[in-house]
Structure 1
Amino acid sequence: MEGTEVEARDEDRKLQIAVRSAKAALLLSSLKSSVDRVFEAAINDETEVKEKMRREINSLKVELVRERLKIKKIKFCGVMELILQAILVMMISSFFMKLALDDDFPFCNYSAT
């Protein structure tokens, strides 16, 4: 009977070892798949972050171009205002010069005395 008991214990040990090996294989498989999923999720997150950064960079570039155009318009308006003021000053000064040098101007008629 001892021979059958020893064989039964060996069978039990082999069965336990087989069950443990199967459990370990399942755990390793699930661990590997979860690591793969985490790695894929990290890659997807990284691509999403890169895409978001690209979109933000493009929107900032568009905003920069708009600001540059605004600045150019402001400079152009400033130059035009300066030119118009110079023209106005020249017109007013020429008007008064014409009045001063004109013989028909009543205030400049010195020979009427």
Structure 2
Amino acid sequence: MDEVTTENTVEAPKSRIAIRCAQVSILLSPLKLPRNHRLNSKNGQQERELMLKAEVEDLRRDLQKERVKNKKLRLCSLMEFSVQIILLLSLWTLCLMIAFEFL
């Protein structure tokens, strides 16, 4: 008889805990709805349009940043090429001056 009562006393808190967990999961289930499910309504459609507009603006901003970066890169490469040409001409002039001096 003692074994039966101890089993019942052990099972009673477990069943209460299980019931509480079930109640909590029922209460939390509407909060777990996917974002797309909430976007099916008219307000959801407007919300989706706003999200898409914000995403488009972000992409435009990123594109503009890339364009500026590419423009700076082209300018730097042009300047580097100019410096190399000037250095080459200077060395060539120095070589010619040395060559004609010895003749």
Q: TM-score, normalised by structure 1?
A: 0.55
Aligned to 2:44: 41
Quote the sequence identity (%).
12
Aligned partners of 2:102 and 2:65: how far apart in 1?
A: 55
Task: Indicate the structure (1 or 2) with the bigger Cα radius of gyration.
Answer: 1
1:77 positional shift? 0.4
| CA displacement, residues 17-46 of structure 1 (integer Å, 9 cap, x when unaligned) | xxxxxxxxxxxxxxxxxxxx7111010000
In the alignment, does 2:68 pair up with 1:65? yes
| CA displacement, residues 4-23 of structure 1 (integer Å, 9 cap, x when unaligned) | xxxxxxxxxxxxxxxxxxxx
Aligned to 1:56: 59
| CA displacement, residues 38-60 of structure 1 (integer Å, 9 cap, x when unaligned) | 11101000000000000010011
Q: How many residues align?
A: 64
| CA displacement, residues 60-95 of structure 1 (integer Å, 9 cap, x when unaligned) | 100110011000000000011011100110000000
Runs (4+) of structure 1 exceeding 4 A deviation are none
Q: TM-score, normalised by structure 2?
A: 0.60
State the one-letter code of the partner of 1:95: I
Aligned partners of 1:68 and 1:39: how far apart in 2?
A: 43
State the one-letter code of the partner of 2:69: R
Aligned to 1:78: 81
In the alignment, does 2:95 pair up with 1:87? no
| Partner SS for 1:65 | helix
Which fold has the larger relative contact order, with Cα–Cα distance below 8 Å and residues 6 or more apart in sequence?
Answer: 2
Aligned partners of 2:47 and 2:102: how far apart in 1?
A: 82
